[in-house]
Amino acid sequence: MTYPLCDQLQTIGQRIKAAEIKYQRQAGSVHLLAVSKRHPMAAIQDARQCGQLAFGENYAQEMHEKALLTQDDDIEWHYIGPVQSNKTQLIAQHAHWVHSVDRLKIARRLSMQKPADKPAINICLQLNISHERNKSGISLDELPELAKQVAQLPNIKLRGLMAIPAPSRDFDTQRKTFAKVRKALEALNQQGYNLDTLSMGMSADMEAAIAEGATIVRIGTAIFGQRPA
Ligand SMILES: *Cc1c(COP(=O)(O)O)cnc(C)c1O
């Protein structure tokens, strides 16, 4: 008996492995985040049965409900959606990672609201790398100051950068955009940060992201299929 989600996860795992080899990345340096937003609990449980432990959610309330229902300490919850300040408490309660911090206020609240019995929350700063209007994320110009402020906060650990480029079907264009994110991380590290995470690459541009140093790829559709409306 085969489980469809195990097949999909295996296929993605093979795509990751092939890209690691092709672009001379260390074996195992690219981690798969299964983006389960808007999919039912059963989907998470299926993927969990196949050994997937890291899940990405975009809505604070939905992550809260799913975390309470699973009651599974081995699952790692990653919050990847826009953060409203009135939702930080809920996010801090469950998230091991928050990829989408783009304001100091949000980082401060997560730092204050982290439960005392849990480890520091891993944080990525989100870059609006394609300069899209009305999209989350900061510009490259704003990055040094925000990184400096966020790195000083207790209870959270600044790990790196996240970006969602404007969609492009062209591999070289995808790569150029991801290269900007990688260079921004390298620039911070030259200033003495010790950042190890590039959260970039989705179902349609994963290989280009891996070529440019992604350490976490966020994959939804290619694992779970189309999201319910
Ligand atoms: C939905 C979402 C994904 C997954 O996208 P797919 O195209 O379904 O792989 C990745 N990252 C973020 C921030 C998302 O909101």
- Taking residues 65-79, what's their average pLDDT? 96
Question: Closest ligand 1 atom, CA of 218?
Answer: 10
Q: Would the CB of 35 count as within 6 Å of ligand 1? A: yes
Confidence at 2, pLDDT banded by 50, 70, 90: low
Ligand 1 centre to CA of 191 (Å) is 31
- Cα 133 to Cα 128, 138, 181, 188, 201, distances in angstroms: 9, 11, 18, 25, 20
pLDDT at residue 229 in the model: 82
Query: What is the CB neighbour count within 10 angstroms for residue 105?
Result: 11
pLDDT in tens, 117-171: 999 999 999 999 999 998 999 999 999 999 999 999 999 999 999 999 999 999 9
pLDDT in tens, 85-103: 999 999 999 999 999 999 9
Could you tell me the two tokens for 223?
């694992």
To the nearest whole percent, how much of the chain has pLDDT over 90?
97
pLDDT in tens, 111-125: 999 999 999 999 999
**Domain spans in the chain, listed from the N-terminal domain onward:** 6-224
Q: What is the pTM of this model?
A: 0.97
Q: Would the CB of 136 count as within 6 Å of ligand 1? A: no
Pick one of 3.40.50.970, 3.20.20.10, 3.30.1330.10, 3.30.590.20 as the CATH number of 6-224: 3.20.20.10
Residue in 33, 57, 63, 218 to alter for ligand 1 test, most ligand atoms within 8 A of Cβ = 218
Ligand 1 centre to CA of 18 (Å) is 21
| Chain position carrying tokens 């092709």 | 22
